[in-house]
Amino acid sequence: MKVLKFGGKSLANGKGIHKVIDIIESKVNNGELITVVLSARGKTTDELETILNKAANSQCYVEELETFKKYQIADYENFNVDKEFETLDKLFEGVSLLGDYSKRIKDQVLSQGEVISAKLLTHILKGKGINANYTDSRELIKTDGKFGEAQPLDTLSKENVVNHFKKYNGTTVNIVTGFIASNTNNETTTLGRNGSNYTAALLANYLDAEELQNFTHVNGIYTANPDLVADAKKIEKLSFKEANELAYFGANILHAKTIIPLIEKNIPLRILNTFDHQNNGTLITAETNKKGIKSLSVLENVSLVNLEGRGLLGKVGVDARIFKALAYKNISVSIISQGSSERGIGLVVAADRAVEAKKVLEQEFEADFYKRDVNTITVENDVSVISIIGQDLSTFHKPYNSLIKNQVVPLLFNNTVTGKNVSLVVYKHQLHKALNVIHGEIFGVAKKINIAVFGHGLVGGTLIDQILESAKVIEKRKRIDLNIFAVANSKKILLNNKGIDTSWRSNIKEGNAYEIQDVIRFAEQHHLENLIAIDNTASAKFTDNYITLVANGFDLVSSNKVANTLSFDFYKELRVKLEEHQKQYLYETNVGAGLPLIDTIRLLHLSGENITRIKGVFSGSLSYLFNTFSKEDRPFSEVLKEAIDKGFTEPDPREDLCGNDVGRKLLILARELDLSNEFADVNIHNLIPEALRAGEAKEFLDRLQELDVVYEDIKSSQNPSHVLRYIGDLHGDLFKEKGVLDVKLVSVPESSALGQVKGSDSIFEIYTESYGDQPIVIQGAGAGAAVTARGVFGDILRLTEKG
């Protein structure tokens, strides 16, 4: 025989109850011998409890009760449960008059849900010609007198069950009420949380069933709750031991007491989906297929009670006193954790018992308060417990570090004696994010990186396209899921927690005005983890948001040079905040576009290598201008106009010719060497004659020929075989607080490294004590949207690896 148990969602009106009928009919037609255990239908139990509370508070409940009755008989005109409805009417009327109710009355009220459910299914099956027998489990399962959480009397209950099934041996299907039982005085009791599953497990045990099949609304047990973790995977097989741990630590479709009767007789439990009953579900047996982490489970409706006191240092037996005091008041402790000094002890109790637990402990430790051995006893509400079933403590640092990186700091953690399960207490509002972070870290699924891109011009737009094109390949190769959830310009933002697509350019036109807090709130509301903010603007104003973003869990990647060239005080403050919040800030493209310059300098400096000088051609735009002008016999204005037309310069080329951009890049490198230079310290040779520095861009462009005489004189005054290069030069005693920073136009031999630069390439010479006069040379494309975007992309990928 197989015992089938159907839950409330499976039995709800409409598709649910029809699927249940189909499953039972199919098994009967296949000649299977089955017994069916039922919960109350839909939200019946919650509705009855709501009506009961209204009645007790002298509130009008008639409308809710009528709605309840209509739901129970909807679509089944010939189905009669007048007796059950009359019972409810009398019970509610009595509660309303008294203004209160006992647990005994509550059990009587709630029991009607299962009775109606079982009678309806029996009625439907008989209508289909199936020989079904309604079985009231109150006649079978006998319990102690503890209403609301009754314990079965095994010997008597087993005898009743065996005799009943002998009597109805010829009956095709026994339809049994779950959850409810009765005491030896035949008063209705209930089996507590997960009671219907417990009823099914008891019947399976007493009848030596072949298998218990628990039909729910999901395809089995998952690595995490699929409603909270989209990437959760179904577990094909579990051991009883693992299932018992999952049940203890809050798995919704399991309960510890439902597992025990099955373990005693080694009866397999299969978790199946009513709405997809062809799926094999999850099979729970005495053995499992493989070792390792199996699942995350969540315990909610709990509170954390903290006991703190310096005077407890070295005292033995504090935890024993806690357990004894709480046990006297029947308050269960699900998790307890303490420091080795016993200075601080945290324990998790049911939320509705937390205040009482605090009072009990205050009484127990009254003398310790007087002696100041105990300082405080506090209660932290709005918390949840996450348990990692199968987590070895030796590898726990991986999910723990990921939590910290995502600004989820566990309030308490505890591991079992075997060291194979770890439980964390987190704030409830961080539960969703915490689950996704841990799941992504330990189950080998793609790690989701949530990206907000600010600025979608040439570089930003190219970057977005590159990410969208490469996302699938990166996910396959590196198990990294790059999700762009925000794209913004200075006025509008496009938000989508599931990620923008290739139509983002047209969609952002319909975007909304925003402030940076809107992005932060959106990430919090959608529990987005592993956040990265990308600054592809050239805005000084946007850098005001950096510290706010860091404080709210974002790593930073920037092609915007401004933040690193503002005041040295801001530069230091940003890095203090980055360290404080354990965030990263990468900006490889600030100097040299996609060239690996900043990383190289940083590694040399961190390794103790003494860098004595850095010089080179920092600007791809000016590299093209002077490479071409030096090589070709053409007027300077003509070459400049060509550079403008090819997009090598800004629309107003004075932004390039003034030298400030090169100055900023040189300052960034100086600060990488821990020099405290300010931008005002940079000696910049402005390439624009003073008479042309003011006015509109159009006026300047109309007067380009005025530059020809100036630069022809400079070019002609060079030594033979020399060329012009506009360079940045960091030199002086770089062991002091500040270095010397020069940005200037120089004439160099054509055969030198600087002289051989072609096109719009950049070149950087890094001189160190170890290399002497032979510098480390880094050369390549130093400008261009595609190159810069690829460099930003590289920084993003570096961050994903560091996380």
Angle at 146 between CA 141 and CA 150, to 5 degrees: 35
Tell me whether residue 583 is one of the annotated catalytic residues: no
| Helix (H) / strand (E) containing 525 | helix 516-525
pLDDT at 310 over 90: no
Give the pLDDT score at 479. Answer: 87
Residue 291 pLDDT level (bands cut at 50, 70, 90): low
User: The tokens 């601080």 sit on which residue?
Assistant: 344
pLDDT at 252 over 90: no
Phi-psi region of 467 (alpha: psi -120 to 50; beta: other; left: phi over 0): alpha
pLDDT at 418 over 60: no
Residue 249 pLDDT level (bands cut at 50, 70, 90): low
pLDDT at 341 over 50: no
Mean pLDDT value of segment 754-782: 91
Mean pLDDT value of segment 99-124: 96
> What letters, b where the CB count within 10 A reaches 16 and e where it falls short, cover 497-519?
eebbeeebeeebeebeebebeeb
Mean pLDDT value of segment 200-206: 96
Structure confidence by residue, pLDDT tens digits, 603-629:
999 999 999 999 999 999 999 999 999
List the one residue out of 318, 299, 499 whose CA is nearest residue 387.
299
Cα 272 from Cα 276, distance rounded (Å):
8
Paired strand residues for 89: none
Residue 572: CB partners within 8 Å, gap ≥ 6? none
Rg (the chain; Cα; Å): 36
In this structure, are residues 224 and 435 in contact, taking their beta carbons and an 8 Å threshold?
yes
Residue 771 pLDDT level (bands cut at 50, 70, 90): confident
Residue 444 pLDDT level (bands cut at 50, 70, 90): low
Give the pLDDT score at 421. Answer: 82
Catalytic entry in 142, 665, 736, 738: 665
What SS3 class is residue 612?
A: strand
Q: Which long-range contacts (CB under 8 A, 24 or more apart) does 651-654 make?
A: 651/697, 652/697, 652/700, 653/621, 653/700, 653/701, 654/688, 654/692, 654/693, 654/697, 654/700
Residue 395 pLDDT level (bands cut at 50, 70, 90): confident
Give the pLDDT score at 530. Answer: 93
Mean pLDDT value of segment 644-653: 86
Q: Is the pTM of this model over 0.85?
A: no
List the one residue out of 269, 116, 130, 273 whose CA is nearest residue 203.
269
Query: How far lies 221's CA from each of 67, 216, 270, in Å?
Result: 34, 10, 10
Mean pLDDT value of segment 124-136: 94
Say what percent of the chain tops pLDDT 90.
73
Structure confidence by residue, pLDDT tens digits, 783-801:
678 888 999 999 999 998 8
Cα 433 from Cα 534, distance rounded (Å):
21
pLDDT at 340 over 50: no
Top pLDDT among 277 and 774 is at 774
pLDDT at 739 over 90: yes
Mean pLDDT value of segment 356-366: 93
Residue 416 pLDDT level (bands cut at 50, 70, 90): low
Paired strand residues for 272: 215
Cα 787 from Cα 781, distance rounded (Å):
7
